[in-house]
Chains A and B, each alone.
Chain A
Amino acid sequence: MQPTIHEILDAYETMVTSRVFDEACGDLLSAGTVLPHYHSGIGQEALMVGAVAPLRPTDQIIYTHRGYGHLLAKGIDLASICLDLLMKQGGTNHGLGGVMHVNRPEVGVHGREGVFGTRFGIAVGLALASALRHATDVTVCFYGEAAGARGALYEALNMCKLWQLPVVFVAENNGWSFTSRTEWLFPSGSMTDVWNGFVPVQVVDGNDLAEVWDGVSDAVERARAGGGPQVLEAKTYRLDPHIWWDEAKYQPAEEIERRREFDPIVRTRGALLNLGTSEHELDAIRERAAATVEAALGAAFAAPAASWESSNEWVTL
Chain B
Amino acid sequence: MGDTLSVEVLQEQVTVRQALTQVLAGELQRSPDVLVMGETVRDGGAAGVTAGLYERFGPTRVIETPVSENGFFGAALGLALAGFSPVVEIYSADFLLAVANELANDMAKWRQQQARRSQLAITVRGCMGANGGLGPEHSQSMEPFFHHTHGLTIVTPSTVEDAVGLLRSSIRSPDPVLFLEHRRLYDLSGSVPGDPEFVVPLGVANLVAAGDDVTVVAWGWMRHEAEAASAELNQMGIGVDLIDPRTIRPMDWETIQASVARTQRLVVVEEAQLTGSVSGEILARCVEAGPRGLRAARVTMPDRIHPYSADMEALILPDRHKTVHAVKKLLDG
Instruction: Name A's B-contacting residues (CB within 8 A).
Output: 92-94, 96-97, 101, 103, 105, 110-111, 113-115, 117-130, 132, 150-152, 155-156, 158-159, 162, 311, 314-315, 317
**Residue picked from A94, A96, A158, most chain B C-beta under 10 Å:** A96
A121 touches B70 (CB 8 A): yes
Among the listed B71, B75, B112, which residue makes an inter-chain contact with A317, where contact means beta carbons less than 8 Å apart? B112
Contact of A159 among B35, B68, B84, B118 (CB under 8 A): B68
29 contacts between A and B (CB under 8 A): A92-B115, A96-B112, A96-B114, A97-B115, A101-B113, A110-B81, A111-B116, A117-B70, A119-B74, A120-B71, A121-B71, A121-B72, A121-B73, A122-B74, A123-B74, A125-B76, A126-B78, A129-B78, A129-B82, A130-B82, A155-B68, A155-B71, A155-B72, A158-B71, A159-B75, A162-B66, A314-B111, A317-B112, A317-B175
In chain B, residues 80-135, which have Cβ atoms closer than 8 Å to a Cβ of chain A? 80-84, 86, 101-102, 105-106, 109-116, 118
Which chain A residues lie closer than 8 Å to B68 at the CB level? Answer: 152, 155, 158-159
Select from chain A the residue with minimum beta-carbon distance to B78.
A125
The answer to whether the Cβ of B46 comes within 8 Å of any Cβ in the partner chain is no
- Nearest B-chain residue to A62, judged by Cβ: B78
Q: Is the CB of B109 within 8 A of A159?
A: no
In chain A, what residue has the closest Cβ to B114? Answer: A111
Please name the residue on chain A nearest to B69 by beta carbon: A155
Q: Which residues of B contact A151 (CB under 8 A)?
A: 70
B60 touches A132 (CB 8 A): yes
Q: Is the CB of A115 within 8 A of B78?
A: no
- Contact of B113 with A122 in the complex, beta carbons under 8 Å: no
Query: Do B106 and A113 have beta carbons less than 8 Å apart?
Result: yes
A103 to B76, CA, bound (A): 19
- Asked whether A121 lies within 8 Å of B75 as measured between CB atoms, the reply is yes
- Chain B hits for A117, CB < 8 A: 70, 74, 101
B-chain residues with CB within 8 Å of residue A114 when the two chains form the complex = 105-106, 109, 113
Instruction: Let me know if A110 and B75 touch, CB within 8 A.
Output: no
> B74, A152: Cβ atoms under 8 Å?
yes
User: Which chain A residue lies CB-closest to B70?
Assistant: A152
Choose among A92, A115, A125, A314 the residue that contacts B75 (Cβ–Cβ < 8 A). A125
A residues near B105, Cβ cutoff 8 Å: 113-115, 118
**Interface residue B154 (Cβ < 8 Å from any Cβ of A):** no
Q: Which of A94, A121, A159 contacts B115 (CB 8 A)?
A: A94
Partner of B101, one of A92, A118, A158: A118
Q: Is the CB of A97 within 8 A of B101?
A: no
Name the CB-closest residue of B to A126.
B78
Whether B66 lies near A158 (C-beta < 8 A) is: yes
B77 on the interface (CB 8 Å rule)? yes
Name the residue on A nearest B63 (C-beta): A128
Contact A156 B114 (CB under 8 A): no
The reply to whether B114 and A93 form a contact with Cβ atoms under 8 Å apart is yes
Report if B330 contacts A (CB, 8 A).
Answer: no
Q: How far is the CA of A315 from the CA of B60 in the complex (A)?
A: 35
Pair B71/A152 contact, Cβ less than 8 Å: yes
- Cβ B72 vs Cβ A159 within 8 A: yes
A93 touching B113, Cβ below 8 Å: yes
